[in-house]
Amino acid sequence: MENKLALLKQQINEIYDLHYVLALLDWDQQTNMPSGGVENRASQSATLSKIAHQRLTADSIGELLDDLSDYQAELPPDSADACLLKIIRRDYNKQVKVPAELVEEFARITALGQQAWEMAREKDEFLLFQPHLEQIVANRQQYAECFAPYDNIYDPLLDDYEPEMSAAAVKVLFDKLRPQQVELVKAISEAGQVDNAFMSRNYPEDKQWQLGLGIIKQFGYDFECGRQDKAMHPFTTTLGLGDVRITTRIAEDDFFSGLGSSMHEAGHAMYEQGIDRKFDRTPLGSGTSLGIHESQSRLWENMVGRSREFCQYLYPQAVKMFPEALVGIDNEAFYRGINRVAPSLIRVEADEASYNLHIMLRFEIELGLLNGEFAVADLSEVWNSKMADYLGVMPENDRVGVLQDVHWSCGLFGYFPTYAIGNLVAAQLWEKIVEDIPGLGNFISQGEFSELREWLRKNIHCHGAKFTPQELVRKVTGTQISSVPYMKYLNNKYCEVYGMGARG
C-alpha cells in the first residue's frame, strides 16, 4: 500500500504543477501580458486545463483510490494521509462527471472574457462584455447539470468554493443577517455623519505604494516568497507555497482603497504562506474553503486595519508621508474617518456595516442568472434596481455598477457568498484571539503583529485543507460558524464610533 500511496501522490503532485502553471498564466494576463496575446493565452490555458482534468479523472487515479480505501480506513482520521485521500476522492468523484471539453471551453472563454471585461470596464460599455458573459453563464449552467439532480443549480458551483454549503443555507443566513445590518445602518444614518472629506484628498500613488508595502511587510507577508503588483481588480494567486503573489490597485483620491486592498490580499497570502510545506503540490496545500480564506483577508483588513489601535500606529506614518492631505486631522478624526459608514457603489471600498449587503445583492443576481429568471442582457438594469433596493444608491454608469467586479469574467459563480461567510468566521476567530492574546490591542498600536500572526499560523494556516470549514472553526472556537459574534462586533464598534447607545 505504501508504494501505491506514493504513486498516487506523485501523480497528484504533477497535476498540481499544471495548476500552478495555469495560475502563473492567469497572473501574467492580469498584470503584464500585452493585449494582443489574449488569443494565445486562451489556447494555452484551455490546453493545460484539459490535460490537468484528464489526468485527475484518469482510470488510474480511481483505481489507486479504490486500492487504498481499506488502508485509508485504518489511518487516524486527522492524519495527513487520511485527509489527503479523502480530498482526492472528493475531487475525483466530482470532476469525473465533467467532460474534459467543458473544462477546456471554460478556460478558453474566461481567458477571453477577462480581457473583454477589462475593455468594457475601461470604456464603460457593458455590450463589449455581454456576449462573453453569456457564454460563461451557459458554460456554468452546463457544468452544474453534470451534478443533477440538485436542489438548486447554484449548489454545485457553490460547492467548488464552500464545501458543505448550499444555496438554501446561504439564503437562510442572509435572511437573518440582512434585517440586522439594515437596522444598524439605519441607526447610524440617524446618528449624525462622520466627516471623512480628508480621505478624498490627493495621495500620490508612489507614496501610497510605499506605505502599503511597509504595512504588509510588518504584518508578516514574506516578500521572499511573494511579490505585489498592480491589477485592475486586486487578487492573490498561489504558484506554489514558496510563491504566493498579491496585487492591488491605487486611487490617488482615496487614502484607504489601495492600503485596504493590500492588507486584504496579504491576509489571503499569509494564509497560504503559513501552510505546512509538506502539503505543497497537493490539495491539502491551500485554504480549506474560500469562506475561511476570506476570514483571513477580512480579519487583517478590518479587525486589524480599521481598528482604533491600528489607526494609532498608522496615523503618524500617514501624516509623515502625506502632511498636506492630513493637515488639521487628528488621530481621532483619522480613525473615525476610516470607519465612516455610508452606502457606497463599490463593494471593495464598502464599510464594514454595509459590506454584506453588496454580497447579498450579487448572490441574488447569480441565482437569477443561473436559474434563467433574467438574461445577461438585462443584467445592468437588474443590478441598478437591486443597488437602489439594498443600498439606496444608483450607479451613474456600468463601470461603477455591474462591471466593477472581475469575478464573472473569470467564471467564479458561487464565490461571492464566501465573503460574507468570511466576515462571520473572522469575528468568531477574533473573539478567541482576544481571549488568547492578552494585550493584543497594545501590540497592534505599537506595530507588533507577530503574536497575532503566529496564533493564526498555529491554529488556522498550518492545517491547509486538512479539515472542513466547520471542523476547523469548531476545533479553534468550540462552536460552529455563527453570525452572533459578527453582529456583536459591528454593534459594539459602530455604537462607539457614532456615539450611539449600546445595541443587541
Please give the Cα distance from 376 to 388 (Å, whole number).
19
Which distant-in-sequence residues (6+ apart) come within 8 Å of 270 by Cβ?
219, 220, 221, 222, 296, 300, 453, 456, 461
CA distance 479 to 8: 35
Task: Indicate the Cα dihedral angle 324, 330, 333, 334, nearest 10°.
Answer: 60
In eight-state DSSP terms, residue 241 is T
Cell of 322: 502625506
- Determine the 3-state secondary structure of 458 from DSSP: helix
Q: Which residue has the cell 502599503?
A: 212
Among the options 104, 118, 162, 265, which is catalytic? Answer: 265
Separation between Cα atoms, residue 301 and residue 297, nearest integer Å: 6
- Please give the full DSSP string across 287-332, using - where no structure is assigned: -S-HHHHHHHHHIIIIIITTSHHHHHHHHHHHHHH-TTTTTT--HH
411 is written with which cell numbers? 467564471
DSSP H/E element including 427 = helix 417-436
Known catalytic residue: 265? yes
What is d(CA 414, CA 363) in angstroms, rounded to the nearest whole number?
A: 8
CB 246 within 8 A of CB 221: yes
CA 424 – CA 422 distance, rounded (Å): 5
For residue 212, give the C-alpha cell. 502599503
Cα 438 to Cα 218, 309, 431, 442, distances in angstroms: 20, 14, 12, 9
Q: Alpha helix locations (H) across 57-204? A: 59-67, 69-74, 80-95, 100-123, 130-145, 155-161, 167-189
Helical (H) or strand (E) element with 440:
helix 440-445
Longest dimension (CA), the chain: 71
Number of other CB atoms surrounding residue 104 within 10 Å: 20
CA atoms within 13 A on the CB side of 390: 28
Distance from CA of residue 297 to its chain's centroid? Answer: 7
What's the rounded Cα separation, in Å, for the pair 422 and 420? 5
Which residues are tagged catalytic? 265
